[in-house]
Structure 1
Amino acid sequence: MGKWKNQALTMHPVFFDPLNKKVYMKESGNIDSLQYMEDPGAIEVQEDRQVRFRFFAPEAKTVEVAGLGGTMGNEHFSLKPEGNGYFSATVDGIKPGFHYHNWYVDGVEVQNPHGAFGYGCFKAINFFEMPEEGTDFYYLKEVPHGDVRIMKYKSQVNSHIKACFVYTPPGYEEKRDREYPVLYLQHGAGENETGWIWSGKLNLILDNLIKEKKCTEMIVVMCCGYSFIPETAPVFYPGDFDRELTEDCIPCIEKEFRVKKGRAYRAIAGLSMGSAQAMLTFAKHQDLFGYLGVFSGMADTELDKILTEKTYAAHHIFLSCGKGEERLAEKQQAACGQLLEQGIPCSRASYNGFHEWHVWRESLREFAALLFKKDGIEGITTDIMDKQGSEPRTQISGEMLRKQTWEEQVLFFDPAYKKILFAVDDKGNPAGRYRDIHHGVEIEGKAEVSFWFLAPDAEKVEVEVYGMKRRKLNRADGEEGRQGYWTVRLEGIEPGFHYHEYYVNGNPVLNPMAPVGYGAFKALNFFEMPETDFHEYLLSDIPHGQIHLNYYQSSQTGRSKMCYVYTPPGYT
């Protein structure tokens, strides 16, 4: 394995250990046979720290790639044609870090189906890792690994089934008589419950810290922070996630897992928008949480509440941000001083970078080492079950359950088709508003589906449902057309699961607003056309089992592999 080939640098939710191969038919005598050949993929970080970018665009005139700002910057790097349909370029000088990026084919912003995908900016988006010399605390190492589970719970706030990722430390399954403290950890705006695992590498960080005895063994719960309620127009906070967390999620966690009870054994933290959500919940429920982590954020109203309402003593508050977030660093420094003046334990840190995942990984590493060092429960402790709402537990409509079934994907269990319009209030605090955007695929009725693709600068957009001929999309009418949407409505779609592919100016791309899976050796869009005689696969309002993401070592490849393990409801 090369210097920059640790699997933590290449894993992503669409493919844990990317194959980087493709198939072709090789004639052997009179028999056609399927053969594999190497495919370098979209991005390769080379031994000399140069980065090779590659995009298959046989009809393109120009191809470029650019970061979103921050450590990578937003300079456009031009790729040159190789003569075989591919464009490529080798770039030097990209700084270490986690880098979201966009590709531009003939000037049209697109995503590369052969690249690594995460969920960011409210869409499926490409990313890559530029490792930093001497920094490996988030690497996949030969240490005991904890378990990552996907657990479903019911939200009484918006009547959805929600999913959260739950990390349990190594040995949790064997130590049946042991209880653990819990950290509730939130993502930022534009991201979701998958972020802290696949982008943040939380489970690898905790595995390594625990092995090195640098942090307490703990359970970590990562929820989707969007609790949008129909017919509402939220400002910054996307619905009442505080109520969903304290009345729905936490009671479910404390029922399903062996957790220590009391505020001394609960912590809450988050990044960016999630840091504001964490501050809000901590300020409102100081009887429930002893620790608070604020990564790349600061909420003034919630800070004032923490400073003035000190019925329960905080065990520790930790503030952090990137060194490039200079104004935020000043606010956090002032806040830390105020907290210390009031006798509230507080510490602060800054790391190389801006508003980026490598900053938040460092934040997690330092915060986790501070947690649950003080044993015992100070003062009166409210049991979380007392916080559950008194209203009857609602049933989720069949229409909503069917809608969630069609839209579930590996990148997002319950997609939020939104964009945030960034703004601040008169005090400089975030006051962004959310607006609805089109789903990439909208089921219209029996055998009918509409496709939507946002490409304001495209000359031509097409879609090909596998097994059907390629169809052109038309520029949408009215305001949607002015925004740059293309659309087409197709009839006669057979029931079942359908892969489909999009083409911009004749070049294959991924639709970041349609469900994403893995097929044909690349990230590929799909949709479900409802089946009339098969209902067992529909999401239902019933007890749900859990999906476990487990690692094992392959004796054939010498690499770690991941398998998904289903355990039924009630499994402990």
Structure 2
Amino acid sequence: MTLLPRLLTLFGALIVPFIALAAAAPDPVSPEIHPDGRATLRFLAPNAQAVALQGLNLKEPQPMTKGADGVWSITVGPLAPEIYSYTFSVDGATVTDPRNRQIKKWIRSESTLEIPGHPPILAAAQPVPHGVVHRHVVSSQTRQRENAFLVYTPPGFDPRANTTYPVVYLLHGFGDDETAWAEVGHANFIADNLIAQKKAIPAIIVMTNGHPVPIPVGVRFPEYSAQNLAAMQQELLTEVMPFVEQNYPTRRDAANRAIVGLSMGGGQSLNVGLTHLDTFGWVGGFSSAAPTEKLDETFAALLAGAKQGQPQLLWIGIGKSDFLLEQNKTFVGWLEARQIPHTWQLTDGGHEWPVWRRYLGEFLPLLFR
């Protein structure tokens, strides 16, 4: 026998058992979304002792049942139409669903699933004209490295036309990056749908990275928030905004600029927006890391500007079970004591994306009127 046939014979002897093993292994579908709004989750772990489902707005982890084929499964619901996140606990270790490509992929990665609604939820991709999400990577003087940001342009946008647009600066939370509002928040679909319904004025939405100071590894050092806020303000005002206004047809006055964010980004929005009323006429915070100290000193311009109707909108919302609730109540209490006009939304929910998607759907229609 020549060398080549021998090699082929050896290869076949080695590979055939692996092919047979792969063919015999279970191939679980997960998640499986049922027409009535229930969801079945499955996880292959034949040697695990205990597997549980975490998330999906369930208060406690739900034990899963092991089948004879080593696949653990559970069916939950029916669930209200929404985009949910979940993980599995496998013998105490938290893991994402390996059968699900939809991942919330930041400091704490989670799998996601969507329960469709009839009619669809506002954050769902619907058969309407869609805008475009552009990605820019630029050199940042503030951070001495690259900065990345996304820019949403609304349906019908044509850079060659004479049309100019208002701008919304939309900021993410501590555990996220510039892609969070598009990938998990579905901000582009929310804007598309509101524009199609003629509920929102077409606007450019800028989603920039909110960590000009690198995220600390391990325990966050006490000075991080203040240092990052100062750097974020500098980068936004002196680098990101000039880039956007040089490369997109924007309206360049406070009446046509809004700033809003969630959690850390909400704190950044309140701090930057309310101290630059000549730049931003519309300010919002969702579940914000709201300021609570030296408010009279920090927001002296707001105290004066409120008498002249600045900003045109100050919108603050938070869920009743959010861990930042008391912090927000303190800030809103100061606004009320100083008779500063504002909108205060206290709703059901916690520190979670379903709340923030809903808030964005309420905030955008209020702008630029």
Gaps of 5+ in 1: 1-26, 28-34, 374-572
Which one-letter code corresponds to 1:191 in the other structure? D
Q: Does 2:355 align with 1:367? A: no
Which one-letter code corresponds to 1:299 in the other structure? P
Question: 1:55-94 to 2 correspondence within 5 Å?
Answer: 55-67=43-55, 72-92=57-77
Q: What do residues 214-260 of structure 1 show as CA deviations (whole Å, max 9, x unaligned)?
A: 11110000011011259994333562111111111111111111111
TM-score by length of 2: 0.80
- Give the whole-Å Cα distance in 1 for the aligned partners of 2:295 and 2:113: 35
Q: What do residues 273-292 of structure 1 show as CA deviations (whole Å, max 9, x unaligned)?
A: 11111112113322211110
Partner of 1:456: none
Partner of 2:181: 196
- Secondary structure of 2:122's match? coil
- Give the whole-Å Cα distance in 2 for the aligned partners of 1:267 and 1:276: 14
- Secondary structure of 2:246's match? helix
**Structure with the largest fraction of helix:** 2
Q: Does 2:307 align with 1:315? A: no
Change (3 A) 1:131 1:267: same
CA RMSD for the aligned pairs?
3.1
Work out the percentage of aligned pairs sharing the same amino acid. Answer: 31
Gaps of 5+ in 2: 1-15, 17-22
| TM superposition shift of 1:295 | 0.8
Q: What do residues 301-338 of structure 1 show as CA deviations (whole Å, max 9, x unaligned)?
A: 48543343539721111111123345356446535534
| TM superposition shift of 1:356 | 1.2
Q: 1:119 aligns with which of 105, 123, 130?
A: 105
Confirm or deny: 8 A CA contact 2:84 2:354 kept in the other structure. no
- Give the whole-Å Cα distance in 2 for the aligned partners of 1:75 and 1:203: 32
Partner of 1:514: none
Partner of 2:347: 351
Confirm or deny: 8 A CA contact 1:319 1:348 kept in the other structure. yes
- Give the whole-Å Cα distance in 1 for the aligned partners of 2:147 and 2:27: 37
Q: What do residues 64-107 of structure 1 show as CA deviations (whole Å, max 9, x unaligned)?
A: 2212xxx7144122222233342211123656654333212222
Question: 1:146-295 to 2 correspondence within 5 Å?
Answer: 146-173=131-158, 176-228=161-213, 233=221, 234-237=223-226, 239=228, 240-295=231-286
Q: What do residues 403-431 of structure 1 show as CA deviations (whole Å, max 9, x unaligned)?
A: xxxxxxxxxxxxxxxxxxxxxxxxxxxxx
More contact order relative to length (CA 8 Å, sep ≥ 6):
1
- Secondary structure of 2:274's match? helix
Which one-letter code corresponds to 2:104 in the other structure? G
Confirm or deny: 8 A CA contact 1:323 1:329 kept in the other structure. no
Change (3 A) 1:327 1:98: farther
| TM superposition shift of 1:262 | 1.3
Confirm or deny: 8 A CA contact 1:100 1:127 kept in the other structure. yes
Partner of 2:336: 337
Change (3 A) 1:335 1:206: farther
Confirm or deny: 8 A CA contact 2:274 2:283 kept in the other structure. no
TM-score by length of 1: 0.53
- Give the whole-Å Cα distance in 1 for the aligned partners of 2:286 and 2:215: 30
Which one-letter code corresponds to 1:236 in the other structure? S
- Secondary structure of 2:87's match? strand
* Number of residue equivalences: 334
| TM superposition shift of 1:349 | 2.0
